[in-house]
Chains A and B, each alone.
Chain A
């Protein structure tokens, strides 16, 4: 069974631009979460979607947004990029919203902002 697929894997943007990252969860998984990973802050929760509804949001500015489609695929968007947005963005899917369940992570999208 295919794992979580994130695209693109690598991208370079300049300050002020915007970026859209895509995540295809494991087939049958309805929950998709997004995390930002940086060396200094570790994994920081961005948001979680379940059946197209954003159920929870982390402490990130409004420049970070996301959505989930009816096929459970998810996208996140970052507008007006800042240097500090450079990070590995990880998407994780799970079968349901039970937090004792396993999160399956993709390989991430590594964003560099110049």
Chain B
């Protein structure tokens, strides 16, 4: 069974701090996605990484796909209160029509 494990589960930081969220698996994934979910909303796609070692930047967010395509990280520089939310990594299950999600990392950025 393919699993995605995220760490940490909860993170509470002050505005301006940097942070990294990790998404790990013992399985190889053809691609990984990161979503952000705000209270009362559904998840919204932030990025898809498909190549081992790939790095993508979205303003203050940097996403990296591990060389072996078993892990990914999300780094936020100078976090802002607007970054508060649930961050989810997700990857396609082998030969299935479903997307497997990690448990999520709840981020709270205090002003």
Contact = CB atoms under 8 A, between A and B. Distances in A.
Interface of A: 4, 33, 35, 41-43, 45, 48, 50, 55-56, 58, 90, 92, 97, 99-100, 102-108
Residue with the highest number of chain B CB atoms closer than 10 Å, among A35, A102, A103, A108? A103
Please classify the interface of chain B as helix (H, G, I), strand (E, B), loop, or mixed, using the class held by over half of its residues.
loop
B101 A42 contact: yes
Interface of B: 30-31, 33, 40-45, 48, 50, 88, 90, 92-93, 96-104
Contacts of B43: 43, 90, 103, 105
Given A4-B42, A108-B42, A102 B98 contact: no
Given A90-B42, A100-B30, A105-B43, A43 B96 contact: no
B42 A99 contact: no
Closest 5 CB pairs of A and B: A105-B42, A99-B92, A56-B97, A43-B101, A42-B103
A111 B64 CA distance: 36
Contacts of A108: 42
Contacts of B97: 33, 48, 50, 55-56, 97, 99
28 contacts: A33-B99, A35-B101, A42-B88, A42-B102, A42-B104, A43-B104, A45-B99, A48-B97, A55-B97, A56-B97, A90-B43, A97-B97, A99-B30, A99-B31, A99-B92, A99-B99, A100-B31, A100-B48, A100-B92, A102-B48, A103-B33, A103-B43, A103-B45, A105-B42, A105-B43, A105-B44, A107-B40, A107-B41
B90 to A, nearest CB: 8
A58 B50 contact: no
Contacts of B102: 42
B72 to A, nearest CB: 14
Contact of A45 (B30, B98, B104): B98
Contact of A107 (B42, B96, B99): B42
A3 to B, nearest CB: 9
Contacts of B50: 100
